[in-house]
Amino acid sequence: MPKFLSEHFTLEEMVFSQSAARLGIDNTPPEPVLHNLRRLCRALEMVRQEMGELPVIVSSGYRSPALNVAVGGAEHSKHMQGLAVDFTVPRYGSTLQVARTLAGCGLQYDQLIHEYGRWVHLALAPEGVAVKGEKLSIFAGTGYLDGLRAAPPTA
């Protein structure tokens, strides 16, 4: 029986990782992280509502520190705290359309990143910390760029 963290999102989908399974890495979140994952799933419910109740496909939620190293994640990735998620909403439109819609809907986020034109990264601030509301894009070879962009700048 799946353990739901919110109406539409389960613990299983927030911790599933093909890399963890392949490498034999335990990706079980500790209790404090579960609290953050519940907050994150509430934010995903808002995403789903903004997308007209279309399914939100989570590609990466929680990452244990060992998994984060194995996949080359950022040293201080919020995925390790249960405060970040990567996702798509294929039936809504492109990842850029999704990100731009979310940027204008009033959702409180720390970071909203259009990553490589392939997924949206949503990060929350820890409880009690002011949100930054950063809107960024990243493409191969660019590093992070301000704003939600369709393509990297040309020379």
Handedness of CA 60, 61, 65, 66 (dihedral sign): negative
- The answer to whether residue 8 scores a pLDDT higher than 70 is yes
Question: Which CATH code fits 11-146?
Answer: 3.30.1380.10
Residues in contact with 78: Cβ distance below 8 Å, sequence separation at least 6, in sequence order = 84, 110, 111, 123, 124
Q: In what order do the strands lie in the sheet with 111-115?
A: 57-60, 84-88, 119-123, 111-115, 134-139, 143-146
Which residue do the tokens 């819609």 mark? Answer: 101
120-137 confidence digits (pLDDT tens): 999 999 999 999 999 999
Q: In 3D, which of 105, 2, 113 has the Cα closest to residue 48?
A: 105
**Percent above pLDDT 90 for the chain:** 96
Residue 2: pLDDT band with limits 50, 70, 90? confident
Contact 102, 79 (CB under 8 A): no
